[in-house]
Amino acid sequence: MTPQIYEALLSYRQQGGLIVYLDADPEEASARASHGNKRPLLAGQAHERWMELFKQRRPVYEAIANLTVPSHGTNPKAMAQRLSEALNERTVHVSGSEPYEVYIGPGVSSRLHALLGDKVVRVALIHTHPVQHHADHARALLRQAGYRVCDIAVPDAEAGKSVQVAQGVWTRLAQEGFTRSDAVVGLGGGAATDLAGYIAATWMRGIAYVNCPTSLLAMVDASTGGKTGINLPEGKNLVGAFYTPLGVLADLKTLSTLPTDIFVEGLGEVVKCGFIHDQRILQILEDHAADLRTFDGAQIEQGEEPFIAELIERSVLVKARVVSVDLKESGPREFLNYGHTLGHAIEQLEHFTWRHGQAVAVGMVFAAELAHLLGHIDQELVDYHRELLTSLGLETSWSGGSWEQVLDLMHRDKKARGDELRFIILDGLGRPAHLDNPPLEAVHEAFERIRS
């Protein structure tokens, strides 16, 4: 409260310092402080004096702090935990006509109530079985906040992204009396959040939803940007809508149960973000390749891997920058599709036994070969694709399907126009570009170069 100290704190903050305000309920804090009667400032009319001090000090504390952590109804140990979680939280802002935040950090699920607000009555919690434990936690938080929770477990992975599953969920919402002021929470990997977003987009022509991604891939990519959808037997993500969530809660605690191979798969999309926009991502991946390919969820629980949080934040930033300017994919958003033209064809031809991120990894090597054949990048950059992906435990070649099958599927890609194929390639590291209607011989040759 002395000007000297205030100035010193202000200058500390201006140099990047962090000042935390532990925001206590005044009645609760007063009762705590008066206990034992040991504070001289509170002698005599303790409660009145306390409230007076609180009134004077609160605006000063609020003005100087750049992080506020509520301490209502807690004990010192839980408070230390809450503080540590708040300190580890990162937020990415997605701008555009419907702006929202992506919260990344251990424990961010506790923001569910704040995001959904008080007007929502029913919440459809859509999740898969492998994340039951995390769904139980979310359900408890939602019930504590007073929502009527309708728990909807859907088939896992791509099996959940179907018209039949969507129809089952629509029927359930009808039976439970979901109205336009109710909401959806999608919890799980990218398949679950894609389906949940599509349900939210289509129920009564659109209700609110929050994504709670639990896989690396869903955290870095699928949960942000509003692409929602399901598959058809004829192709991946052929039915869907661009539909923006209220917010995204990437609770790093959920990664503690993520199997290593599914974590590694998610790195495919992280590498993509590095290749198309953020070379610092590539540096972090190189520096920590061994730890990443042997990912162990237990380490996440102990908060030992800050570089994983940084990779997630940086990848979400790449995505946020693009979708903020081009939500409906009329140009720059297509850059996020690097590696996906062949990637989606591989997933389909392998009947989804290949995971998305692994297929995209091979797709990026194919796109690099194509760019090299047409003189856009040198051999060194093609080799770098293979080296980096291999060092992370990702695939760089594929022997399934035939050229004819792949070509047919690539013509059904959403970037194709009329009879013309379109691809995303690199003109250099961090310089994505469109490649429209390239010579078919070059496409075929690039395909031959990824055959194992």
Known binding residues for NAD(+) are 156-161, 190-194, 214-215, 227, 236, 254-257
Nearer to ligand LNCXM5UN, 214 or 337 (CB): 337
For residue 205, give both structure tokens.
């022509």
Q: Does the CA dihedral 250-264-329-313 come out positive or negative?
A: positive
Query: Does 422 help bind ligand LNCXM5UN (rule: CB under 6 A)?
Result: no
Q: Which of 413, 239, 248 is closest to 319 using CA atoms? A: 248
Annotated binding site: 156-161, 190-194, 214-215, 227, 236, 254-257, 269, 340, 356
Query: Does 156 help bind ligand NAD (rule: CB under 6 A)?
Result: yes
* HEC-encoded secondary structure of the chain: CCHHHHHHHHHHHHCCCCCEEEECCHHHHHHHHHCCCCCHHHCCCHHHHHHHHHHHHHHHHHHHCCEEEECCCCCHHHHHHHHHHHHCCEEEEECCCCCEEEEEECCHHHHHHHHHCCCCCEEEEEECHHHHHHHHHHHHHHHHCCCEEEEEECCCHHHHCCHHHHHHHHHHHHHCCCCCCCEEEEEECHHHHHHHHHHHHHHHHCCEEEEEECCHHHHHHHCCCCEEEEEECCEEEEEEEECCCCEEEEEHHHHHHCCHHHHHHHHHHHHHHHHHCCHHHHHHHHHCHHHHHCCCHHHHHCCCCHHHHHHHHHHHHHHHHHHHHCCCCCCHHHHHHCCHHHHHHHHHHCCCCCCHHHHHHHHHHHHHHHHHHCCCCCHHHHHHHHHHHHHCCCCCCCCCCCHHHHHHHHHCCCCCECCECEEEEECCCCCEEEEECCCHHHHHHHHHHCCC
Q: How far is the CB of 224 from ligand LNCXM5UN (least distance, A)?
A: 8
Q: How far is the CB of 322 from ligand LNCXM5UN (least distance, A)?
A: 7
Which of ligand LNCXM5UN, ligand NAD, none interacts with 187 (beta carbon under 5 to 8 A by kind)? Answer: none
Query: Does 152 help bind ligand NAD (rule: CB under 6 A)?
Result: no
Nearer to ligand NAD, 85 or 265 (CB): 265
d(CA 245, CA 291): 33
Q: Which stretch binds ligand NAD (CB under 6 A): 73-81, 87-95, 124-132, 426-434?
A: 124-132
Query: Does 254 help bind ligand NAD (rule: CB under 6 A)?
Result: yes
Q: How far is CA 185 from CA 104, 149, 188, 325, 393, in A?
A: 17, 10, 10, 25, 32
Instruction: List binders of ligand LNCXM5UN among 219-258 (CB under 6 A).
Output: 221, 225, 227, 237
Q: How far is the CB of 93 from ligand LNCXM5UN (least distance, A)?
A: 17
Nearer to ligand LNCXM5UN, 24 or 282 (CB): 282
What is the bridge-based pairing of β-strands 227-232 and 235-242? antiparallel
Nearer to ligand NAD, 225 or 438 (CB): 225
Query: Does 161 help bind ligand LNCXM5UN (rule: CB under 6 A)?
Result: no
Residue 75 burial (CB count, 10 A): 9
Binder of ligand LNCXM5UN out of 94, 185, 196, 336 (CB under 6 A): 336
Annotated binding site for Zn(2+): 269, 340, 356
Nearer to ligand NAD, 50 or 338 (CB): 338
Binder of ligand NAD out of 105, 107, 186, 189 (CB under 6 A): 189
Nearer to ligand LNCXM5UN, 61 or 352 (CB): 352
Q: Which stretch binds ligand NAD (CB under 6 A): 250-258, 373-381, 406-414, 439-447?
A: 250-258
Binder of ligand NAD out of 131, 249, 320, 424 (CB under 6 A): 131
Which of ligand NAD, ligand LNCXM5UN, none interacts with 214 (beta carbon under 5 to 8 A by kind)? Answer: ligand NAD
Size of the site for ligand LNCXM5UN (CB under 6 A): 11
Q: Which of 172, 130, 170 is closest to 151 using CA atoms? A: 172
Q: Which stretch binds ligand LNCXM5UN (CB under 6 A): 60-68, 113-121, 329-337, 391-399?
A: 329-337
Binder of ligand LNCXM5UN out of 333, 372, 376, 385 (CB under 6 A): 333
Calculate ∠ Cα 104-106-107, nearest 5°: 100
Which of ligand NAD, ligand LNCXM5UN, none interacts with 337 (beta carbon under 5 to 8 A by kind)? Answer: ligand LNCXM5UN
Which of ligand LNCXM5UN, ligand NAD, none interacts with 318 (beta carbon under 5 to 8 A by kind)? Answer: none
Binding site for ligand NAD (CB under 6 A): 128, 130-131, 156-158, 161, 188-192, 194, 214-215, 217-218, 221-222, 225, 227, 237, 254-255, 257-258, 262, 265-266, 355-357
Binding site for ligand LNCXM5UN (CB under 6 A): 221, 225, 227, 237, 269, 329, 333, 336-337, 340, 414
